[in-house]
Amino acid sequence: MPRPRKNDPTSLLTPIIEQFVSRLASTVEQFTVSRIESAIRAQASTLRGRRGRVPGRSRRAQVLCYYPGCKNVAAPRFGMFCAAEHKSLSKAEKEKYRAVHAKSAQKQLPAAAKRGRRRKA
C-alpha cells in the first residue's frame, strides 16, 4: 500500500464533492417531481372536462317521466314513463300525458329550433 502524501487534496475535496452531488441530485429530483405533477394536473383537468368518457361517444341527457310532477327517469320501454310508478297507466292516459308533454316541449324550444334547420343549397 502506498504511503499517503503529505499534501493530498482528496481528503479535503471528497466531502465537498459528495455534498455537491447530493444537493444536485435532490434538486434534480424536486424539479422532475414538479414537472410530473404539473403534467398530471394538466391531464386531469382535460379529463375532468370530458369526465373520463371516451372521446367520440356522447352521453344522452336524462329524460324525465312524462307524468306531470314526476321526477323519475323515463324508460323508453314503458313509453317514456318511469318504471317505478307510472308504467302501468292505461294507454289512453299515456297518450294524454304524451300530448301534454309535446305541447310543453314545443313552448320551451328556442325560436330557431321551431323554424327547423336550414338546408344548404
Q: What is the pLDDT of residues 63-99, one digit of tens each?
A: 889 898 888 888 888 888 888 888 888 999 999 999 9
Burial category of 74 from C-beta neighbours within 10 Å (exposed 0-12, middle 13-18, buried 19 and up):
buried
Instruction: For 4-58, write each residue's pLDDT tens digit.
Output: 777 888 888 899 999 999 999 999 999 999 999 998 888 877 665 555 555 556 6
Strands 81-82 and 74-75: antiparallel
Cβ pair 33, 47 in contact under 8 A: no
Indicate the pTM of the whole model: 0.42
Could you give the angle at the alpha carbon of 98 between the alpha carbons of 94 and 103, nearest 5°? 155
